[in-house]
């Protein structure tokens, strides 16, 4: 008897297959019956960029002292960066005008902060965290 259970979470499809359906060569994280053509781009949903991809944004240094620098993919110009405390209050807002921006965080107390890049439609494009020393 073949049992397949499929469910969808946030647009991702997961399937649970019976043990007989897994080949001896199948490994954790592989999808039975799926093969990718050499050189094909994968849809990487982990947030880790593939070697040839240009990241949308890169924040440094982390941890930060007085300033953070963010390098942007050209698609990000015109958006804004918002920094939030862990309590959810917005503490800094900055418009993206170029490929690299410097944001003064010297007035912020030490701690962990969340940053989000918000597009013109007020949707989060990229988010992450950084530590302020």
The residue that leads in pLDDT, 53 or 70, is 70
Tell me the pLDDT band of 16, cut-offs 50, 70 and 90.
very low
Tally of helices (H runs) and strands (E runs) in the chain: 0, 9
Average of per-residue pLDDT across 78-105: 95
Residue 117 pLDDT greater than 60, yes or no: yes
**Residue 21: per-residue pLDDT:** 41
> Is position 36 within any domain?
no
Whole-angstrom distance, CA of residue 68 vs CA of residue 124? 19
Average of per-residue pLDDT across 43-64: 66
> Is position 25 within any domain?
no
CATH number at residue 101: 2.60.40.1930
Residues, the chain, total?
133
Average of per-residue pLDDT across 10-33: 40
Highest mean pLDDT among 10-14, 46-50, 125-129: 125-129
Residue 128 pLDDT greater than 80, yes or no: yes
> Is position 63 within any domain?
yes
**Residue 8: per-residue pLDDT:** 46
Quote the tokens at residue 60: 């440094």
Whole-angstrom distance, CA of residue 121 vs CA of residue 106? 29
Domain region containing 95: 57-132
> Is position 11 within any domain?
no
> Is position 86 within any domain?
yes
Tell me the pLDDT band of 1, cut-offs 50, 70 and 90.
low
What is the number of structural domains in the chain? Answer: 1
**Residue 54: per-residue pLDDT:** 62
> Is position 88 within any domain?
yes
**Residue 101: per-residue pLDDT:** 94
Cα dihedral value 8, 12, 16, 17, nearest 10: 130
């Amino acid at each position: 008897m073949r049992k397949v259970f499929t469910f969808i979470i946030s647009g991702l499809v997961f399937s649970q297959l019976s043990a007989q359906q897994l080949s001896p060569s199948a490994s954790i994280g592989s999808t039975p019956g799926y093969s990718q053509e050499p050189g094909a781009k994968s849809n990487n949903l982990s947030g880790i960029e593939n070697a040839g991809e240009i990241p949308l944004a890169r924040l440094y240094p982390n941890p930060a002292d007085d300033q953070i620098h963010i390098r942007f993919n050209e698609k990000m110009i015109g958006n804004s960066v918002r920094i939030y405390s862990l309590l959810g209050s917005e503490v800094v807002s900055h418009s993206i005008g170029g490929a690299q921006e410097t944001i003064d965080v010297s007035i912020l107390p030490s701690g962990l902060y969340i940053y989000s890049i918000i597009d013109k439609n007020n949707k989060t494009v990229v988010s992450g965290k950084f530590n302020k020393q």
